[in-house]
Amino acid sequence: MNALAKDARSKGRLILGPELLAAVLAHPLHPTPLLVSSGATSSRCAGDGLWTLDLRPRYQELRYQGESSQVTIGTGLTMAEVLEGLRPHRRALPIGLSGLPGSGFLLTGGMGPLSRSQGLAMDHIQRIEGVWGNGERFNIHRDDVIGDERAVDYWRGLLGAAPFLAVVTGLELSTHPIKPLAVQQTRIAVEALPHWIRLAEQWPSSASLQWSWGDHVEIYAVQCVSDGCTPDLLPACAGDAAELFADQLSLPAFGRLTSDRQPLPSHCEVLGRLGQRWGEEAELVVDHLRELMMRRPHPSCRISAQQLGGETGSVEPASTSFIHRDAVWKPWITAAWTPGDRAGRQRSLDWMERVSEALMALNPGVHLAQLHDHLPCHDQELEDAFGSWLPSLKQLKAELDPDQRLCRL
């Protein structure tokens, strides 16, 4: 469980089936917002003085449909559990850099090493079932909304902004055949990072670059390998043999080369930005980030990024709440502090804001993988995440969660 959420002075866990969940949301609820936990990796899956709805005990369904190559899942499953359930069928979904997150990963975008070749995980969703914040149950298939303007808005709101509108309890998703993956994971000098960024911006969509900067800079390049072929791109880039892995669950841990020391106990918040190619600006950005990394207030503070583009841009921006379809990079900032150190917490949050400002020119968008309704930056993050769609989202919020039982929008 996320360490910050684990240490929160929560009012407790609620374990509710669909009928009882609808009844609870339909009646006055105090205090609000009701927090929701699926994979329990978010800092807001529990909070001081608030109830947490724990989806894990009651929403564990996984049913694969061979005729359609689609899978129906309960939202109490982690991404690793979904992939484990699909493995016997030789099928998979594109997940992130860890198998620990739950359905929040899917509903807020779902970015990972295979996004460029297979699209966002969110774009695989075919059906969504759950309960609106006002207690009304729903079950919507993407084909059912065609020609219904209001239903189109509901669907768009759920894809990318569901945590503000509803508790989602079930999903139906399309899947892909499992393919082997080549991985190049190594440390590089800070000075080499701009070169790698520009190099990756020329890669075909079968490959993606991730990097993480802690005590050291790690690059983590992944290439999908067609059956019967050998990886060629990554060895040519790195001058070294790429390691081949059977599937996403077999991949090595991202970020393990960023430090030689054991991680200290810490609490953290994470902010993700979205933006364009860095190109010839990469040196300037990296130089600025180096100055900020030299002043990071805690050893676990870090800056990371993953590459988008390719299939992530093939979906019409107005069809989901993830409007930044032209994004090529998602850099994210981890602000960490020692548990109980209030001054250290503020220093790290201030540092996160300064890094965010340094990235903003090339990365004006925000990816709300973690919600910050408890932080002063929340309103600005909403504007940066949803842009001109935000007023319409707020209208949906007023209709579907009028008493603000879920996260503030």
Q: pLDDT tens for residues 344-365?
A: 999 999 999 999 999 999 999 9
pTM, 2 dp: 0.96
If 0-12 CB within 10 Å is exposed, 13-18 middle and 19+ buried, where does residue 364 land? Answer: middle
Q: What is the pLDDT of residue 29?
A: 86
- Helix extents (H) in 92-167: 103-107, 115-118, 149-165
Q: What is the pLDDT of residue 242?
A: 86
- Tokens 């991949």 locate to 251
Rounded Cα–Cα distance for residues 235 and 229 (Å): 14
Beta bridge partners of residue 127, listed in sequence order: 141, 172
Q: What is the pLDDT along the chain (409 residues), one digit of tens a residue?
A: 999 999 999 999 999 999 999 999 999 888 999 999 999 999 999 999 999 999 999 999 999 999 999 999 999 999 999 999 999 999 999 999 999 999 999 999 999 999 999 999 999 999 999 999 999 999 999 999 999 999 999 999 999 999 999 999 999 999 999 999 999 999 999 999 999 999 999 999 999 999 999 999 999 999 999 765 666 666 556 556 789 999 999 999 999 999 999 988 999 999 999 999 999 999 999 999 999 999 999 999 999 999 999 999 999 999 999 999 999 999 999 999 999 999 999 999 999 999 999 999 999 999 999 999 999 999 999 999 999 999 999 999 999 999 999 999 9
How many angstroms separate the first and last alpha carbons of the chain?
Answer: 25
Q: Which domains does the chain have, with CATH numbers?
A: 181-384 (3.40.462.20)
Burial 217-255 (b: 16+ CB within 10 A, else e): bbbbbbbbbeeeeebebbeebbeeebeebeebeebeebb
Helix and strand element counts for the chain (H, E): 12, 18
Q: Per DSSP, which regions of 6-158 are E strands?
A: 12-14, 35-37, 51-54, 62-65, 70-74, 91-92, 125-132, 137-141
Angle CA(223)–CA(229)–CA(230) in degrees, nearest 5?
A: 60
d(CA 288, CA 38): 37
Question: What tokens were used for 176?
Answer: 């892909």
Q: Distance of CA 93 to CAs 106, 153, 173, 177, 381, Å? A: 10, 25, 8, 9, 28
Q: Which two tokens stand for residue 350?
A: 């201030």
Q: For the beta carbon of residue 323, count every other beta carbon within 10 angstroms.
A: 20
- 140/123 Cα distance (integer angstroms): 15
- Inter-axis angle of helices 282-294 and 342-360, nearest 10: 170
User: Which residue type sits at 162?
Assistant: A
Element (H, E) at 390: helix 390-400
Question: For residues 11 and 50, is the Cβ–Cβ distance under 8 A?
Answer: yes
Pairing of strands 12-14, 51-54: parallel
